[in-house]
Structure 1
């Protein structure tokens, strides 16, 4: 009875965390947008803020830039994912690619932007390499992809971050037991009809995979349309993307600008909805074109182009990640390093000493926030999945979570977090940690669920039946049978949740009102106008934290559940 009450409470709290902050936050920006904001003495509804927004110079360009960069990055990431899957489906190389790209998912967006900025800068490694190999660019080039008006650097950074997520979601679909055998059979039939393995995958397997990838792709597109860290560090500033402009208006010294920012946040909701609408429309057009290709009977020879794109994607990803990691490491220990020298004249660890002393507080805050949000998310997800499992065994209806799960990822954070902050400040004045932990939990919870759900749902029901037949209660089955068997997936989910928390910039900045400094907030602040060497150190420390989490998630199951290790320990 108590266990069932815990499951029901966890289920209600799970939905509450996913839905309530978003709904409250959206209302918190809609009301100021229409003139109602008692904190500033505005108690009458009006459209003044909307008129001020429409009069802002460069507003159409801000909107178009957000649409162009988000759609372009998502299309590139999806096409590259399709090429990789089509080329390496049912081949060992796909696991190698998966293991290689998985760490990229854990790298915070700010660290990715900083690393790519180092590579593409006029005095970065690309320019230095070209200058050392050829006679050109002996002086830094006058133009670069950084801060360009078309947002090419933004597209590149977003695509690098989105590709691993889409690929891992696709691999999760392909590993589902009820789909794996059917898709493999369809793939074999297509090959027997004369299709090359690449085109056989695209025609016979990918349509099924895409039907389950739609929500993750829409979440990726929505995030890209309202991203703040990457455009702030790599994008144009005059005008910036709409999300960056909203951040600047909310942080303006003139408090009346918050009404303008609220109206802009409402516009951001429409921009994101427009990007999703354009994607769905393009999806319908692509479906008609794709159907024509499938039914015309032509075998075609697109396999070579797909193979080329797959190998090019893998090579570019490996090269970019390697170069920006080496670039960060080089700058973090560089002394005097004039252009166009490929290596610095001297090496020093002074920047690390300075950073370690300055980041003691932010590092502690980062770990505490992840240490509070992640366990809550893991417990809620475990109890929710247990309730789902019990409902299936009892043949009761259990509402799917898939549609609700992506709501915090689809609704732009820049649109609802401000409203959520105002509401929490009104309800809990003076509190810092609680609103910040809740804002982190909103984003950690979906990723923990996505990471853990597949392993939990694939758990062999026979173990539960045997334990129940021996008289174990549901609580005992959960604690003594399921959790030990799922320890490794739980650790991976916890590591992923902590990595997501480590990288949160906007939720930390807004929910704490700037009073809680973390590694990410400090890295973005330093990258916006500080030393390149300190910025490199901050970015590396941002990446080391998630890496430590995943290493711990890999080691603990082997140490705690390794019979040889236990025997060796007992012998001592």
Structure 2
């Protein structure tokens, strides 16, 4: 590519990334402005809903993140280095394709008062969940799939496998190997995933509206309600509540680092007492329950829905937004990896490790300033703030695993940077790119807050309809919207898998 064209492409790339990440600036300004007002903090702390909302948020988040980590580690301890581990790994993409809203909607229809469980067993009485325990348990199951998917990628190293086999041969048990060998090596890569899971769970609004405590709700829902009001004082309370979510996240990170430091200090050497007992029953049970939970989700929604109950406009909006966001994110991510900076890029991951609510508030502020709220392209722009970093998260490891010798050969043939990128790198990255597009599609389908606020109620999707119906709408319509929200990413993942299979068939000679 000629130098002027390359510079124009790089400038366009930087402009696109700056436009997508621009809400970080008003978000910072909105959080800082009321943070130094003692009167505003006193008004927030005197609100009677705050203590219960804060307690429900802490309980649900700790159960969700801690439970997800415990489930994932128990499955790894029970199944890793076995054929069943490979079979479970092949099922993880299908479980990942189940959106959170569809999953918690199925849990609501099964376990809530008036659900299937209490119809089958009328003597049972549902307990009043004021602390978000049900929300935490449901999210623990859902998030454990994401952690297992990450662990599967991290556990593919040959050196770690050989070390584990040597320790197994010496009589050490599965949990000893996991705690003393596997976790210390994986935690540097796993901590960003745990941080992203914690940040998302803290600021989850859609699933908390569907399943969480209602009055008072979690802190994220309470902040969303305040920010949606026209009163300036309540909007200030919502902003301070967002800042409080950030402080809670920082406190959880510090507590986790302290726990990990204490854990590392107590790791013994490999000359101690061996515990060869497998202790694999819990992990095997969870490995059986996770696919079964996805199956129950599909069956519950399918049995309660009706074919003509879907809103065609919402279905079309969900489809074109997800397709556009995933394809645009894949193109931008590839160009960013090729032409973007190699250092000082930590800001790219901010949408993954920060609570979503203040970021959406920043997006909404920009949309109001530019008179672009309620536009379809504005909603697409809002989705990209999360689809782009998730796409980069998928592509980044694959990009750095490219064999540099191939590029060296291409360079010796006189090929320029653009030709090496288009002819060598892109074909080698076809499978990761298709996987990243599928993940981006699912992330876009699941977006609730950007769609509600930036769409100004005029751009509806399957997710917004499902959340709206969960507060008192028809059970049949709710199941129908949630089922189609599940089917869209499921069908798209299936199409991507078929395309990958065809690609592998026609490229067998390259193996």
Over 3 Å counting, the alpha-carbon distance change for 1:208 and 1:17 in structure 2 is farther
Aligned residues: 506
Over 3 Å counting, the alpha-carbon distance change for 1:287 and 1:13 in structure 2 is farther
Q: Distance in 1 between matches of 2:431 and 2:5?
A: 23
CA RMSD in angstroms comes to 2.7
| Residue 119 (1) aligns with residue 121 (2) | no
- Of 185, 204, 210, the residue aligned with 2:181 is 204
- Of 299, 308, 318, the residue aligned with 1:366 is 318
Which residue of structure 1 lines up, in the alignment, with residue 485 of structure 2? 542
| Residue 82 (1) aligns with residue 59 (2) | no
- Of 125, 144, 165, the residue aligned with 1:142 is 125
| Residue 298 (1) aligns with residue 241 (2) | no
Which residue of structure 1 lines up, in the alignment, with residue 97 of structure 2? 106
Q: Distance in 2 between matches of 1:257 and 1:419?
A: 17
- Of 19, 25, 28, the residue aligned with 1:26 is 28
| Residue 261 (1) aligns with residue 234 (2) | no
| Residue 517 (1) aligns with residue 460 (2) | yes
Which residue of structure 1 lines up, in the alignment, with residue 411 of structure 2? 468
Aligned pairs for 1:129-208 (under 5 A) are 129=120, 131=121, 137-138=122-123, 141-144=124-127, 148-175=129-156, 180-208=157-185
Contact map agreement 1:222 1:411 (CA 8 A) in 2: yes
Over 3 Å counting, the alpha-carbon distance change for 1:275 and 1:466 in structure 2 is same
| Residue 480 (1) aligns with residue 423 (2) | yes
Aligned pairs for 1:136-535 (under 5 A) are 137-138=122-123, 141-144=124-127, 148-175=129-156, 180-252=157-229, 254=231, 256-289=233-266, 291=267, 293-294=268-269, 297-301=272-276, 303-305=277-279, 307-332=280-305, 351-353=306-308, 355-356=309-310, 359-387=311-339, 398-399=342-343, 401=345, 403-429=346-372, 432-535=375-478
Name structure 1 gaps, 5 residues minimum: 35-44, 132-136, 333-350, 392-397, 566-572
Q: Which sits farther off after the overlay, 436-445 or 516-525?
A: 436-445
Q: Distance in 1 between matches of 2:335 and 2:18?
A: 14
Compute the TM-score of the two structures, normalised by the length of structure 1: 0.82
Q: Distance in 2 between matches of 1:479 and 1:535?
A: 45
Q: Distance in 2 between matches of 1:285 and 1:564?
A: 50
Compute the TM-score of the two structures, normalised by the length of structure 2: 0.91
Q: Distance in 1 between matches of 2:420 and 2:12?
A: 18
Q: Distance in 2 between matches of 1:193 and 1:400?
A: 44
Over 3 Å counting, the alpha-carbon distance change for 1:127 and 1:431 in structure 2 is closer
Q: Distance in 2 between matches of 1:450 and 1:151?
A: 30
Contact map agreement 2:373 2:456 (CA 8 A) in 1: no
Q: Distance in 2 between matches of 1:564 and 1:248?
A: 53
Which residue of structure 2 lines up, in the alignment, with residue 340 of structure 1? none
Q: Which sits farther off after the overlay, 12-21 or 468-477?
A: 12-21
Give, in angstroms, the shift of residue 385 of structure 1: 2.4
Contact map agreement 2:348 2:389 (CA 8 A) in 1: yes
Q: Distance in 2 between matches of 1:78 and 1:441?
A: 28
- Of 15, 22, 46, the residue aligned with 1:55 is 46
Give, in angstroms, the shift of residue 451 of structure 1: 1.8
Q: Distance in 2 between matches of 1:262 and 1:296?
A: 54
Greater radius of gyration (CA): 1
Contact map agreement 1:10 1:383 (CA 8 A) in 2: no
Name structure 2 gaps, 5 residues minimum: none
Contact map agreement 2:302 2:479 (CA 8 A) in 1: yes
Q: Distance in 1 between matches of 2:171 and 2:20?
A: 47
